[in-house]
A and B are shown apart, each in its own frame.
Chain A
Amino acid sequence: MNNHPNISSFHHALKVDTDICTACSHCMRNCPTEAIRIRQGKAVIDPARCVDCGQCYSVCPSGAIYVEQDDFNDLLRFRFKIAIVPMVFWGQFDSRYDFDTIRRAIKMLGFDAVFPGEYSTGLLNELMIEYIHSHPDVRPLISCFCPAIVRLIQVRFPSLTPNLIPLRQPLDLTAIYLRKTFTDTYSCQSNEIGIFYITPCAAKIAAIKSPVGEENSAIDGVLNLNLFYNRVRKILNTPDVWTAAPDEKTLDLSAIEVKWTHTGGEKNNMPFGGAAIDGMSSVIAFLEQVEDEKFTGFDFLELRACDESCPGGILTVANRFWVVDRMQSMAKKLPDSTKSQKLEPYSNYLKQHAYIEPIEPRGMQQLDPDPRKAYQKLQHLENLAKMLPGIDCGVCGAPTCRALAEDVVNHQASISDCYFVHMSLAKNGRKPYERSLKINENIWGKKWPDPDFFKEGEDYDS
């Protein structure tokens, strides 16, 4: 659907299985960036508008939307196999399973080392505070933690891209740390080390496969948290996992790390005024106002696409509120701040590698790359919008009347795709019934109208 020449293709982890999709249109109605249309009886995702937030995945009743992942056996290629696992993974299990037992179970899947993705958050927290102090002219500054939010800002709020703090995500910095540690300790080549990330969401996959502001990711493969959970769960049922290996060292963890991916996890460790906002619709409504400069006095914004942030990730298994509670009780037993020597001797190395390039806008809201043409299309769009009923019924295969009008000016739909428009035309004899059927078929496929539809109801009818 994307006809803008200035947009390179971005990797998306969310896909539609057209064999399963029934064109129920739940995804289309819930997509916060209006990226989905129904065509020929199937949902189609526009790669230019999609920000990989995963709301479509969550609302799909038939499981037709799936999240692409790498092959688990890919890790066999590497001499050293490392798993980077988000803390929310531990939150999926009840208190019978402590941190080390779960870590051991993950290792038993074939990993040489298991680290939480948040291992580097202590350092990131320092760098973020430093960055906010040294950029007093840009307010509010926005964390780059959630990749769906970074993409949302690029696509929908391009004027706010300079407000993004160009620091890596914790999982990337942790990966850089581990790669360095392993190459130095075992004097091996970087390509002998395979680092796999267990992801709670689609956005992280997209960010790893086509990183924003960095050349390539330090991660070699991504596995989906829900499927990984099943593998670990199986191992936890075996007796071996309960006996610690004699050489096993526990990890220094802090409450910051455990709670970092919760709503408020970043903001609560900042000596600045700000807000922590979760959920796509709340974030969008808030950013609209930030863009108009209706707020002043905010220094820092922590924005997360999922409700309850990462515990609400679309690939998590347990209830998000339960997970937050479980992790908070884990955090209570830990020191508040990270030991500063934890990442030594690599702190300076990591500081040098912590920054990414400034994030560029991907402003694809424009109707045409040529401003004059865009203006003409806009006038056309406004006129079309007046013709449409404004009830956003979705029967045209677009989520709103305005979205249809925009598709029409971009030659991706016809105004008579609107049920009310083609009924009006049919009534005036300008489009016969057959033509209406054809329009319907182009959008919803051949399933409707079904010629056998009335057979069962015949008795009631007469």
Chain B
Amino acid sequence: MHLEFNTEGGDFANAGAASSSVKNILRKMGIDPAIIRRVVVAIYEAEVNVVAHAYRGKVLVDIQPEEICVRVVDEGPGIADIELAMTEGYSTASEKVREMGFGAGMGLPNIKKNADVFKIESVVGQGTDVWICNKLS
């Protein structure tokens, strides 16, 4: 089953559409609530990253009976030093973003923590590509 969501940079009010839809689908499949929680948190953090840092992005979801794979791809400034960005507490979020309660530097580490398989690629000046895969049982 494939789902696709568009995310606009700066649109914090609507961040979370993809994670909410995925949550409702996984519930209907009867997936263990603890697994759903991990998946939903990972996707939500990835959505917020696009909103906070990029110009626009897409969330591409593929759900199979045993596995969910999500690709979050954005057009944006990209990440110069991925290793640094993966450090808890490190953030390049603007003051404006922090004022809204985001940008604590927990986004990427939190995605990694909640994903079974996590992959990130980024080209400075072009954008970032994040893959999240989780087993559903």
Contact = CB atoms under 8 A, between A and B. Distances in A.
B96 interface: no
B86 interface: no
Contacts of B65: 371-372, 375
A15 B89 CA distance: 54
Nearest to B41: A293
Given A159-B37, A293-B41, A371-B136, A288 B20 contact: yes
B53 interface: no
Nearest to B45: A293
A49 to B, nearest CB: 13
A377 B30 CA distance: 12
Interface stretch (B21-29, B54-62, B74-82, B118-126): B21-29
A368 interface: yes
Interface range for B: 20 to 34
A118 to B, nearest CB: 33
B67 to A, nearest CB: 11
Interface in B8-36: 16, 19-20, 23, 25, 27-31, 33-34, 36
A449 interface: no
Given A288-B20, A372-B65, A367 B33 contact: no
Contact of B27 (A294, A365, A369, A372): A365
Nearest to B29: A374
Interface in B37-53: 37, 40-41, 44
A361 B40 CA distance: 18
B39 to A, nearest CB: 11
A427 to B, nearest CB: 31
B1 interface: yes
B33 A292 contact: no
Given A371-B65, A371-B136, A378-B25, A363 B30 contact: yes
A234 B46 CA distance: 64
A424 interface: no
Nearest to A295: B101
A382 interface: yes
Contacts of A374: 28-30
B85 to A, nearest CB: 21
Q: Which among B19, B23, B29 has the highest number of chain A CB atoms within 10 Å?
A: B29
B136 to A, nearest CB: 7
Contacts of A369: 30
Given A292-B41, A378-B29, 19 more contacts: A158-B33, A159-B37, A291-B23, A291-B37, A292-B16, A293-B40, A293-B44, A294-B16, A366-B28, A366-B30, A367-B28, A371-B29, A371-B31, A371-B65, A371-B137, A372-B65, A375-B63, A375-B64, A375-B65
17 contacts: A159-B33, A161-B33, A292-B16, A292-B23, A292-B40, A293-B44, A294-B44, A361-B33, A366-B28, A371-B65, A371-B137, A374-B29, A375-B1, A378-B1, A378-B25, A382-B1, A406-B28
Interface of B: 1, 16, 19-20, 23, 25, 27-31, 33-34, 36-37, 40-41, 44, 63-65, 136-137
